[in-house]
Amino acid sequence: MKRSNKTGKTAGILLLAVLLAVLASCSSSPHVQKEADVLKLIRLINEGKVTEVEGLSPAPFVLDSETLYLESDIETLWKNLKAASFTMSNAVFVQTEHITPDSYKIFADTFDMKNFFEKYTDKDTSVVTIDTADGRYYLILERKVKGYPKIRGFKGPVK
């Protein structure tokens, strides 16, 4: 049975259209945090250098159950943590989960926290769980900025 040249071209065009649709959908799929990138961010935190990477921890920012709305408050937070020799020692990546409608409850079951998650997080935001020598930390992370996951907040240590 002989196939017409027109049928072959149509099949080729259809295959190309399907391939392009698949590739286009990949760019809109949620970002997944990688263990190596998260541990790289934690090394930066442990070195007290978060403020050296512009745009890495934007406002608003969650600290435990509170929301910091001013850039100056966030800078002060990182400076104070550095001055206090804060570290997440022996950090072990546990898991990463895309946010859900109830993710805010990990930080606080309050209207303020629910509002933060509704307004300032999206499909690329994850809650990452880290175990350390001092206890468990929860980090709110987004797509990379200058090679590091953007950090929108953290809670811990939780024992």
Specify if 100 maps to a domain: yes
- pLDDT in the model for residue 106: 97
Residue 7 counted as domain residue: no
Whether residue 26 lies inside any domain: the answer is no
- DSSP 8-state class, residue 110: S
Name the more confident of 90 and 10: 90
16 has pLDDT over 80: no
Any domain includes 99: yes
User: Is position 116 within any domain?
Assistant: yes
Q: Are the beta carbons of 31 and 142 closer than 8 angstroms?
A: yes
Residue 134 falls inside a structural domain: yes
| Count of domains observed in the chain | 1
Q: Tell me if 125 is assigned to some domain.
A: yes
- Share the mean pLDDT of the chain: 88
- Residue 2 located in a structural domain: no
Q: In one letter, which amino acid is 36?
A: A
Closest CA to 92 of 134, 55, 126, 143: 134
| Entry pTM | 0.82
The mean pLDDT value for 96-123 works out to: 97
What CATH number is associated with residue 81? Answer: 3.10.450
Q: Which residue range(s) make up the domain with 107?
A: 31-158
**Rounded distance between C-alpha atoms, residue 43 and residue 130, angstroms:** 13
Question: pLDDT tens for residues 49-79?
Answer: 999 999 999 999 999 999 999 999 999 999 9
**Mean pLDDT within 14-38:** 64
pLDDT number for residue 21: 47
User: How far, in Å, CA of 50 to CA of 82, rounded?
Assistant: 9
E strand or H helix that includes residue 136? strand 135-145
pLDDT confidence bin for 32, thresholds 50/70/90? confident
Each residue's pLDDT tens digit, 128-158: 999 999 999 999 999 999 999 999 999 999 9
Model pLDDT, residue 4: 56
Task: Identify the band that residue 24 occupies on the pLDDT scale cut at 50, 70 and 90.
Answer: very low
Q: Longest Cα pair distance anywhere in the chain, in angstroms?
A: 80
According to the model, what pLDDT value does residue 19 have? Answer: 45
Question: What's the 3-state SS for 21-85?
Answer: HHHHHHHCCCCCCCHHHHHHHHHHHHCCCHHHCCCCCCCCEEECCEEECCHHHHHHHHHHHHHCC
